[in-house]
Amino acid sequence: MMTIRKNHPHYGYRRIKIELDKIGFKINHKKIQRLMIELNIRVTAFTKKSRKYSSYKGRVGTVAPNRLNRRFESTVPLQKITTDTSEFKYYEKDDSGHLQIRKLYLDPFMDLFNREIISFKVTKQPNGESIMEALQDAINASESCL
């Protein structure tokens, strides 16, 4: 178990159990969890306490009026276009072979007429610049449709 932990420092009891099963050791996950607590080899990298809150605030100013008022249907194309930024996490191996958590941010623009994505941008950092680029692409796409 300690060699698995040495090779994979971010593995919790579930992943260690899978690795032990591959080797041929059939051990209950509760026992692995108990041994990890006794040996003080718990994973702290992914606990809620280890992550600090870092929400992107963007340009802080006045809040725009709510013009949709939960009316998310449209009978006219390109009348109502919405956007939202989504964060996706993925793993990537660094030079030393360790897994690192990386993040990507998706900024899609959707037409509520047919729920079609008009434009989108994927970036490594959430910023207003990528949102404005996706908005400009959405405007160009809507102009070409008219």
CA 81, CA 108: separation in Å to the nearest integer? Answer: 10
CA 122, CA 112: separation in Å to the nearest integer? Answer: 21
Amino acid at 106: L
pLDDT truncated to tens, each residue of the chain (146 aa)?
A: 788 888 888 888 899 999 999 999 999 999 999 998 898 887 776 666 656 666 666 677 777 888 899 999 999 998 999 998 999 999 998 888 888 899 999 999 999 999 999 999 999 988 888 889 999 999 888 888 76
| pLDDT at site 52 | 65
| pLDDT at site 114 | 92
Per the structure block, which two tokens stand in for 109? 């623009």
Are residues 25 and 17 in contact, defined by beta-carbon separation less than 8 angstroms? no
Residue-range domain boundaries for the chain: 2-38, 81-145
| pLDDT at site 89 | 92
| pLDDT at site 56 | 67
| pLDDT at site 53 | 62
This prediction has a pTM of: 0.55
| pLDDT at site 24 | 93
Other CB atoms within a 10 A radius of the CB of residue 136 amount to: 12
CA 25 from chain center: how many Å? 34
CA 12, CA 35: separation in Å to the nearest integer? Answer: 12
